[in-house]
Structure 1
Amino acid sequence: MAKVIHYRNKCIGCNICFEMQPNIWRMSQKDGKATLVGGEIKKGLYILSIAEGHSEVLLNEVAKACPVNIIKVV
């Protein structure tokens, strides 16, 4: 099982994560930043455990595509 960690406070709202995986990301209409759907907030980070059904390869591609490197997959 993988975990996605999102440093949302540093998000610039570029939309790439949502475009690549719209089932995991949403763009907030309040502040224009990405939100990790179903993520728990812990110490200012959004953390989501991903079941085996999701492709870890695609999650890593999303993390690499983020221009400010605020998405981590562990």
Structure 2
Amino acid sequence: MTRIKHFRDRCIGCAYCVGAAPEFWEMCTEDGRCDLIGSIWKRDCYELEIFNDEVQKNRKAADICPGKCIRVETN
């Protein structure tokens, strides 16, 4: 199982994640930060389980994020 963890409070609103994986990320017009579409709040971050074929584009989003607020974890 692979999941994305989004630490939204660290987001600087650059929207690089939106460019890398627009079907997973969107810009919030209310506060200028990015949201992980379909994620749920778990303790200290938003989480979303993804399929194997969706990992690469989300790893790219995590790698290029200047705020380092995205993690892609595989169990």
TM-score (norm 1): 0.90
Map of 1:35-50 to 2, 5 A cutoff? 35-50=35-50
Runs ≥4 in structure 1, deviation > 3 angstroms?
Answer: none
Q: Deviations over 1:4-51 (max 9, x none)?
A: 000001110001000111100010010010000000101231000002
* SS state at 1:35 partner: strand
Alignment root-mean-square deviation, CA: 1.1
**Which blocks of at least 5 consecutive residues in structure 1 are unaligned?**
none
Q: Which residue is 2:15 aligned to?
A: 15
Aligned residues: 73
**Which blocks of at least 5 consecutive residues in structure 2 are unaligned?**
none
How far, CA to CA, are the matches of 1:68 and 1:25 in structure 2?
Answer: 15
Q: Which residue is 1:27 aligned to?
A: 27
Q: Which residue is 1:70 aligned to?
A: 69
* SS state at 2:38 partner: coil
The CA deviation at 1:58 is: 1.9
